[in-house]
Structure formats: C-alpha cells, structure tokens
Chain A
C-alpha cells in the first residue's frame, strides 16, 4: 500500500481580512453615513473623512471563469484588485477615486453588465439551479430570470419605484433561496402525483423514510405484483415532490403539467412592517421556454400596478395590506379561485373573520 499524501482538512474559508481593501480595513466599523449618488453608485463616508465608492453591476450568477476573470480585470484596473459580491449575487467594485467611476461603468456596459440595483429599484433575482443542474426542478431558473430581467431592466438601472421590490425564483417548492419572503416570487410547481416504479422501489428507497416524507400522509405501504412497494392516495397528493427527494422511484416531473406559480407580498426587513411571507397570486402558468412570455407579462403587470398605486416606501405586502386582497385581485386583473384559499393545517387562520370589507 502506498503512503497517503498529507491531507489538509477543516481549515475553513480564508480569513476575510486578507481580502479587505486597505480603505475598508482602516475604516472598519467607523462608517458615518452613505449616499446613493446615482443608479448603481453609492458612497460611504467614514469618521476619518475617507470616502469609499461602490459601483454595483448585475451578474447572471451562473458565470464562467472567463466572466470572473473579466471582473478581475476591471477590479485590477480600477480597484487595486479588490471586489465583492452581494447577497443578491450582484458584483460590487470598490473605488477610492471618484473620477474612475464613469470609465468603469463604460467598461462594464461595453461587455454587457448593467450597473444598478441600488435604492428603489428591482435588484438581481435570487434564483436556483433549474434544468441546469437539479433533478427535482419543475421549471428552469436561469432562463426565466433572463427573460424577466430583460423585460424589467429599466427598473434595475433606474430608481423610479415607490420602494424596493425583490423578485426571487425557485424551480420547485423546496424553495431554495428567498421565494417565501419576496415581493414577487416565481415558483415551479407540479400538478400530477408521482408515477411509482414498483419494480425498483424497494431496491432504491427506504420505505419508512418515503412514507414519512409526505406532508399530507398520502403514501401507504403496498404489495404490488408480489413486490414490496407503496401506493399513493392520489386524492391526498398535492404534488410537493418531497417523496421524490427521498426516493428516486417516485418521479413526478411532467412536461405537460409542470409550470409556474406566482406569489406576492413577502419581505424580510423589519422596516415599518414586520417580515411577511409571500402569498399566492397566480396558481399556475404553463412552462413556455425559452422566453416564458406569460410569466414575464404577469410579473410586469404586478410591478406596474404596485408602482402606480403604492405610497412612497410601501413594499408590495404593505401596499396589499392597506388596500386589501380583494382590491389587489381586482387591480391586478387576476382571477381569484379556490386554489387561493388555504387548506393545509391551521388554514382557518387565513380566512376573513370580520365585515371589514370594501364594495
């Protein structure tokens, strides 16, 4: 047997201080205030009087090493080799010389990276893997995000909205990311129960784990053609796909019925109103690659009715709280259906229990 090579483990990430620009190190924790100078550009002023300029550019998140190297070229040219990414996957260039801002923006635009995403804008769409890498996606992520952002780009590069508007996308209801807490959320959904592969199930899956994976208790043990397997009470199945997550023999992807639902009114910040979950606006829109035009126009409609009607600072959820859900559906021109009414545990807490109504 050969000698194993020395192995480094449990070293963790590099210590962040190694990557902080000198101006950040010097003024760490001693920032006084900031101002947004124009779309995508802000300045932070320190107690020392030092000024740090940030230029924020949109990024598609799924990027090649060529794109990363391009970002590095710009950071070397304008920012002494320092840059960072944001929690919405934008890229930020950190400058100390104000005169370099416009040349950097010109360089970024020349290779297709828009500058914006600050203040009352629509910033980047937090999104997931989709058909690029995930086995359980009911839709694609990158494709819809590209289509929606192409349509809404004026709101990324401008700051003309009443408040912030966050859009997120998840390709299934595992909701990796921020779909359950965004102003507008795009969520991949299934509409048919799994097709159980009885021949393989016992070989591939742990049946008790499979049974306990179902939120509505729709899965039962069953002998099928002399084989240990499960049966699914289709009346109890709402196609969440959690059984498929734990068992490969219960696939439910279905090109004909998989699609998109749209949710509104979530937020995570505490400003004014407490954090809120997103709530169902549109139960189903079919997948229509490569541009998903129905999804794009549904999102634009929601942005526009909110932008037109909301008061200054009012997030989507705060606006809907003020006008009420019936008004929201009317203004948005969205049909209200029985699918909008909660029927999971404690659903009754979401029913209207007053005559505070508008006619």
Chain B
C-alpha cells in the first residue's frame, strides 16, 4: 500500500483501475471492489476491496466489540480501516475477493452486518443525540436504528434509480450535516417556548457575558430583549436557529413540545448542481413506531422509484418535475414554509381554467 502510494506521490496520479464489481451472495452492495493498475509491482494489493460495515448508531463502542472487529480484519484483510467513512460506516480497507465471504460470515456471527453501496438506501447515521446532548429534540439513535432495521432489504439490494441517504440530527445545529448530506434530513426542533432559567442568565451576565452583543444582536429574527435583569424571548417570532441556546447552555434549553423538521433533496454537484435539503414537513412528532414518517417515505420511494431517471437523485427528480407537482403526487399540501420566496417568473402551469360555456371553473 505504501509502495503504490509513494508511486502516486512521485507521478501525481492514482494507481487504481476503474470500478470493480464484487460482493457477497444475497446482497447487491456493501463492498467496493478495487484493483491496482500496477499489480505486477505490488502483488499484495492487486485486489484491494473495501467492506462497508454498518456502525452502531452515534458510533458508540465497547472495546470488546472493537477488538472483535480488529481480530476479524487481522485474519481476513489488510488491517487498515477508516473510522469512519463519511456516510458513517466502519471501513475495512483492502482485501481480496476470496476473503469477502469468510469476512462476512465472521462479521454476522459477531452481530455486525454490511452497510450500503450502490443504488440502495445507504447506511443511515445520526448525531450523538440524547445519549450525550441536552439539545436533542428526539431520540436520533432510536430512529436511526429503527430506520436501518425497517429498511434492511432496501439497504442491501439495489432497487432505486440511485442512492438514497437518511441522516438524523437532534437539533438545528445539525452535527451530522444532514441538510447537506442526506436525501432525507430529519432535524430535531421544538414549537413551544425556549425554556429560560432566569437566574442562570443573570449568572452569565455577572460573569462577563455581554448578553446584548453576544446574544441579542446575533438573533436572526430579532425577537429577544434584555434589560440588564430579565431576558425576554418573543417565541412566536423565533426561527429556532439555536444561537442563544448555544451561547448560554446553562440558561436556555429547547422547548418541551419537541419533534423534527423533515427536509428533502440534498446532494453533491453531479449532475445538476449541489443541493441543500428543503423543507417538506415543518414539524412532525418523532416517536415509535414512526408510522407517519414511514408512510411518507414509502410514497416518496414509490414515486421516485417509478419516475426517477437512471442515476437521478430524489432532489434532482424534484427539480425536474417541480416541487409543487411532487407534493401533489405524494399527497402533501403546499405551504409557504417550503419556499425561500414565491416564484419570481410568471410561467405558471394552470390546471384550473374556465371554458366558454362554463359558469363554473373546471378542476382537472
């Protein structure tokens, strides 16, 4: 490995052949095949396939589990890993084709399964959530595990036009970057009042925090006031941006009526340009058995699965057919929360119009 990397550094070019289709029986993904283009020079890495292994939610481990994984990889692979891949998987970096099945057998015996690759549901991931964060507005770990188990078939066997990712963030700080890196971004939020501990606010002020400039002046909706003694928040005007809570974690907490905002469509530039996810459902309670969420996801997959073009991410599909049409087809009502602003051009496709001999409007 170091040999081929040194060659790449000298020549300023990679030395891996294009693609490589390998895997384990029963699954259509989870292994990234890779072959060296200089196998005669570096026969040990002529095959250098990667296994993606589904990590436990929020990347918590016991040393017993990690040592078990290390032992498997010592027996069957290069001993190199990525902790972790960007989507969240444990990456076993480098092995040969005959080792794939034995590695998989040992992994499943230990309770670990492969993650996703290809045109599948990719491995869902989440922030640390309620395990160690006072801002978590729903149980990101529980939902991540539930989604992963609920959709095992979709994760292991390609059945989509292209890849699809879920990421679960407990609050709008979005510590897993879900709004940028997931086709469905589930971001925790609240809809009642921010909980204020007034004594703790005064304590911050006494200890030198400039409440006016640090907190009030940075509020994007300008919905806060501070008279030197009492902090006032006009909660109905609050954008839920988290700034004031971030700055004074001992004094301010998210409200008690908690749930999540669902946003859809994020992706990297290929093909039609990068997208951030946009609002689909402003607020939804996020508790097991997550029926409402799964019903919505199933509708989206049914539509995009049928209509999406080859290698078209759901965000691009929505751009192609229009968000308004997409909403209609998945039976979600359009609301102003879904747009940054209404359209600026007059190129409107009307579906309602009058006929000459009609008194009433026709609704097609």
Binding site for B on A (CB under 8 A): 5, 7-16, 18-21, 24, 28-29, 31-35, 44, 52, 54, 59, 61-66, 68-69, 71-72, 75-76, 81-87, 89, 91, 94, 126, 128, 130-137, 140, 143, 173-181, 209, 212-213, 215, 240, 242, 244-246, 248, 251, 253-256, 258, 266, 268-273, 275, 277, 287, 289-290, 312-313, 344-345
Contact = CB atoms under 8 A, between A and B. Distances in A.
Contacts of B61: 19, 82-85
A255 B15 CA distance: 12
B341 interface: no
Given A16-B58, A273-B220, A128 B67 contact: no
Given A29-B136, A272-B218, A13 B177 contact: no
| Residue picked from B5, B25, B27, B64, most chain A C-beta under 10 Å | B5
B62 A81 contact: yes
B229 interface: no
B34 A135 contact: yes
Contact of B111 (A11, A94, A213, A255): A11
A340 to B, nearest CB: 16
A140 B176 CA distance: 24
Given A12-B145, A91-B83, A212-B309, 20 more contacts: A7-B25, A11-B108, A13-B55, A13-B56, A13-B145, A14-B111, A15-B145, A16-B57, A33-B249, A61-B84, A65-B73, A131-B9, A131-B15, A134-B14, A135-B18, A175-B274, A179-B268, A213-B271, A253-B14, A268-B180
B139 A131 contact: no
A31 B19 contact: no
Contacts of B246: 271
A126 B173 contact: no
A12 B81 contact: no
A258 B13 contact: yes
A interface, over-half SS: loop
5 contacts: A20-B60, A64-B81, A130-B14, A135-B19, A140-B8
A62 B220 CA distance: 39
Nearest to A171: B14
B272 A209 contact: no
A91 to B, nearest CB: 8
A131 B14 contact: yes
B272 A345 contact: yes
A84 B59 contact: yes
Given A10-B152, A84-B58, A133 B64 contact: no
B16 A133 contact: yes
A277 to B, nearest CB: 6
A86 to B, nearest CB: 7
A178 B14 contact: no
B362 interface: no
Interface string B160-188: 00000000000011111111110000000
Contacts of B313: none
A44 B132 contact: yes
B63 A76 contact: yes
B242 A269 contact: yes
Contact of B19 (A14, A68, A248): A248
A7 B26 contact: yes
Contacts of A68: 66, 69-70, 81, 83
Nearest to B157: A10
A52 B247 CA distance: 20
B79 A66 contact: yes
Contacts of B247: 313
B268 A31 contact: no
A275 B180 contact: yes
B51 to A, nearest CB: 12
Contacts of A21: 60
A268 B9 contact: no
Across the A-B interface, the 9 shortest Cβ-Cβ residue pairs: A248-B18, A29-B130, A270-B172, A131-B8, A72-B63, A13-B54, A8-B108, A65-B70, A255-B12
Interface in B228-264: 239-243, 246-247, 249-250, 253
B11 A255 contact: yes
A62 B180 contact: no
B153 interface: yes
Contacts of B94: 133
Contact of A34 (B19, B54, B249, B269): B249
B141 interface: yes
A84 B309 CA distance: 39
Contacts of B59: 84-87
A260 B111 CA distance: 41
Nearest to A342: B273
A11 to B, nearest CB: 5
Interface in B113-171: 113, 125, 127-128, 130-134, 136, 139, 141, 145, 148-149, 152-153, 156
B302 interface: no
B293 interface: no
A19 B112 CA distance: 13
Contacts of B273: 344-345
Contact of A12 (B70, B149, B172): B149
| Residue picked from B108, B153, B172, B181, most chain A C-beta under 10 Å | B181
